[in-house]
Amino acid sequence: MGGGIARDGIALYEADDNDELARPKPKTPHAALQMAREYYEEWFPSAESFVRGYRYAFRDGDLKKAAFDLHQAAERFCHTVLLVLTFHSPHIHNLAFLRTQVERLDPRLQAVWPDDNRKQRGMFEKLKEAYVKARYAKHYRISEEELDWLSARVEDLARVVQAICLERIEQLEATAREAG
């Protein structure tokens, strides 16, 4: 129980040259524009809501809840950019995986999470672990200093994601106008 179709090798279909199932794509420029707008209007404000939750929890001294909310914000910002740019996002909470996926889409996202040293990599790891450990692990600890650094990164992530998504929506608007 708990296995996955891809992980457990369950064959749903056989194909010679195709490694994965086709993902549905919008059929027209107008449909693409509508989908991108809907994804952005749903996911970006949801991420911002978790940023607000982070601020409240941080101010109240609930650092574990703050870390969890910050993780959720970062995760949702990643899903936003994936959905707006590709119309697909995996149903996954692994922030490291999501980070890799979004960084492949736009080089501006690579600058959000510096990992020049062990301390920076460790702080990102704490954020990644917050999804589970901040809620369930008795010994999970995160400091105000670490949260300050991480929240600055998430704010950068929000700015970059917003710019990328709005640029994409503008491109889709132009394409839809040309299509009539």
Asked if residue 57 belongs to a domain, the reply is yes
- For 58-66, what is the mean pLDDT? 98
Asked if residue 18 belongs to a domain, the reply is no
Asked if residue 167 belongs to a domain, the reply is yes
C-alpha distances in Å from residue 84, one per residue of 42, 78, 79, 159, 180: 11, 10, 8, 15, 22
Asked if residue 4 belongs to a domain, the reply is no
Q: How far apart are CA 59 and CA 66, in angstroms?
A: 9
Reply yes or no on whether the pLDDT at 7 is more than 90: no
Mean of all residue pLDDT scores within the chain: 90
Instruction: Name the pTM for this structure.
Output: 0.85
160-177 confidence digits (pLDDT tens): 999 999 999 999 999 999
SS3 category, 64: helix
94-130 confidence digits (pLDDT tens): 999 999 999 999 999 999 998 889 999 999 999 999 9
For the chain, the domain total comes to: 1
Q: CATH number, domain at 82?
A: 1.20.120.330
SS3 category, 65: helix
Asked if residue 66 belongs to a domain, the reply is yes
Q: How far apart are CA 121 and CA 125, in angstroms?
A: 6
Asked if residue 5 belongs to a domain, the reply is no
Is the four-CA dihedral 65, 46, 153, 56 of positive or negative sign?
negative
For the chain, percent of residues with pLDDT exceeding 90: 82
Reply yes or no on whether the pLDDT at 36 is more than 50: yes
Q: Which range marks the domain in which residue 170 is found?
A: 29-179
- For 62-87, what is the mean pLDDT? 98
